[in-house]
């Protein structure tokens, strides 16, 4: 028999079909049982009338517990009273594996309990919706760059130490070569790729051993990092803007059902269209001062500062030209004011904070070497990176987008821990 999934039931109205899945919920009358089946593609209410099935089947329907795996057979009918609009008039029930005392009941649970049971929590309808949206965002990201002539280029996960200090890097032994570290970013490798292929993007997991305990931080998260030869900061911002619009509009178009499960207010997402406001760091500081924040010029924007700024707008806001002191060594200085870096952060609305950080890169050999020395970085570790400026250096720019923060924003979640199947955080690395 052909395998049928719940999402395709509209094509089988009036037919007798068999579906397999798990018992999601059960309600019963004396001679009627409502078994809600889930199969990963949807939910289906199956009705067992005492007179329509054998006594064994009816007793089985009465007995099995939540999350028992089953195979149901019956006739598909349109039924406005059933969730989803379709119902199965069941004639048979086959038990695959019986379950009892499933810990996650259809009532409220605390976050600690749910996180301890993350492997089971993933079966809940909201978690299923989040995972489907995450998947679609990943596809939208790849489609966007693939359709625009970018080449996906995977950077290494294991890297030598190249950043300032090792306190935020996860460390591991690497044969006779000493220590290796889990990557924090594929950017420097993406720059090498851009010099080879013009337009590249990296997309993979990155790791930060920061002792951050906030709703926006994971120790292991996914980042997509495009890098484009001959782009300047403005072109970088154009790309970021088009990219975010594409992702949000794609999800709005294709994932309405999941957004509804998540009770997401989509009117906010509908406003995410170009152009996004672009303000300089100096203008951002003015906004903070107008809102009564005692902000020290030259500092980086804190979480609450970002919220105040993004609340001024109904769509993502791009803040550019930060003081060089708070930004990375490889960012190019603004030729009109060497105290500023040609950097941009994109802040998502609704207090979600930074989801993109990018910059035009320093392409001058001498200036880059100077910055490496200023930051007390080991020059020998950067010789390969300096080579990119020795041999055919060009202006180039790129950015990094945090996948989990983006998923959290689009899904309207208040914590990134639900945006990845098995989150890794400072105080949790199980299950």
Partner RNA sequence: UCCGCGAUAGCUCAAUGGUGGAGCAUUCGGCUGUUAACCGAAGGGUUGCAAGUUCGAGUCUUGCUCGCGGAGCCA
Of 430, 425, 428, 420, the residue nearest 213 (C-alpha): 425
| Rounded least distance, CB 254 to RNA, Å | 25
Measured in degrees and rounded to the nearest 5, phi and psi for residue 87 equal -145, 155
108/366 with CB nearer RNA: 108
CB of 427 to RNA, least distance (A): 4
| CB atoms inside a 10 Å sphere around CB 336 | 7
Question: What are residue 220's phi and psi, to 5 degrees?
Answer: -130, 120
**Are 272 and 249 within 8 A, CB to CB?**
yes
- Please identify, using beta-carbon distances, which residue of 72 and 328 lies nearer to RNA: 328
* Nearer to RNA (CB atom), residue 16 or residue 210: 210
Where does this chain bind RNA (CB under 7 A)? 25, 27-32, 34, 45, 47, 49-51, 65-66, 79, 81-83, 87, 89, 100-101, 103, 105-113, 115, 162-164, 168, 184-185, 187-188, 208, 210-215, 217, 300, 302-304, 327-328, 357, 400, 414-415, 427-428
Nearer to RNA, 252 or 426 (CB): 426
Which ranges of 64-212 would DSSP assign to H, the alpha helix? 111-116, 118-121, 125-146, 187-197
Minimum CB separation of residue 388 from RNA in Å reads: 15
- Look up residue 271 and give its two tokens: 């406003």
Neighbouring-strand partners of residue 171: 181
Nearer Cβ to RNA (159/231): 159
- Spatial contact of 77 and 14, defined as CB atoms under 8 Å apart: yes
Minimum CB distance to RNA, residue 330 (Å) = 8
**Which residues touch 48 (CB under 8 Å, ≥6 apart)?**
32, 33, 34, 35, 57, 58, 61, 90, 93
Is 157:204 a contact under the CB 8 Å cutoff?
yes
Minimum CB–partner distance for residue 246 and RNA (Å): 23
Instruction: Give 136 or 155: the residue with its C-beta nearer to RNA.
Output: 155
Shortest Å, Cβ 79 to RNA: 5
């Amino acid at each position: 028999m052909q395998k049928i999934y719940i999402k395709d039931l509209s094509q089988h109205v009036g037919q007798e079909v068999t579906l397999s899945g798990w018992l999601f919920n059960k309600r019963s009358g004396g001679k009627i049982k409502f078994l809600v089946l889930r199969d990963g593609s949807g939910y289906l209410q199956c009705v067992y009338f005492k007179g329509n099935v054998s006594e064994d089947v009816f007793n089985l329907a009465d007995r099995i517990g939540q999350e028992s795996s089953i195979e149901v057979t019956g006739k598909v009918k349109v039924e406005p009273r059933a969730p989803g609009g379709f119902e199965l008039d069941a004639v048979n029930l086959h038990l695959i594996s019986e379950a009892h005392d499933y810990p996650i009941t259809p009532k409220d649970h605390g976050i600690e309990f749910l996180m301890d049971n993350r492997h089971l929590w993933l079966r809940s309808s909201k978690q299923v919706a989040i995972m489907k949206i995450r998947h679609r965002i990943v596809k939208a990201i790849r489609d966007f760059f693939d359709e625009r002539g970018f080449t996906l280029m995977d950077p290494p996960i294991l890297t030598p130490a190249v950043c300032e200090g090792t306190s935020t890097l996860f460390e591991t032994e690497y044969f006779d070569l000493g220590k290796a570290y889990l990557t924090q970013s594929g950017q420097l490798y993406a720059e090498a790729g851009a010099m080879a292929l013009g337009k590249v993007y990296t997309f993979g997991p990155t790791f930060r051993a920061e002792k951050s305990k906030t709703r926006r931080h994971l120790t292991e998260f996914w980042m997509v990092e495009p890098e484009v030869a001959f782009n300047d900061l403005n072109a970088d911002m154009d790309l970021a803007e088009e990219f975010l619009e594409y992702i949000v509009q794609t999800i709005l178009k294709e994932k309405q059902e999941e957004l509804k499960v998540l009770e997401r207010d989509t009117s906010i997402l509908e406003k995410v269209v170009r152009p996004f406001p672009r303000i300089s760091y100096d203008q951002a500081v003015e906004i903070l001062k107008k809102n009564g924040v005692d902000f020290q010029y030259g500092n980086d924007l804190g979480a609450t500062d970002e919220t105040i700024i993004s609340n001024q707008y109904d769509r993502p806001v791009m803040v550019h030209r930060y003081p060089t002191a708070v930004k990375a060594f490889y960012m190019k200085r603004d030729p009109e004011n060497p105290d500023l870096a040609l950097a941009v952060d994109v802040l998502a609305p609704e207090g979600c904070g930074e989801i993109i950080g990018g910059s035009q890169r320093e392409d001058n050999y001498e200036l880059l070497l100077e910055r490496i020395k200023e930051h007390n970085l080991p020059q020998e570790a950067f010789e390969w990176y300096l080579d990119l400026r020795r041999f055919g250096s060009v202006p180039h720019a790129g950015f990094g987008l945090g996948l989990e923060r983006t998923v959290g924003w689009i899904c309207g979640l208040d914590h990134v821990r639900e945006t990845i199947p098995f989150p890794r955080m400072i105080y949790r690395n199980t299950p």
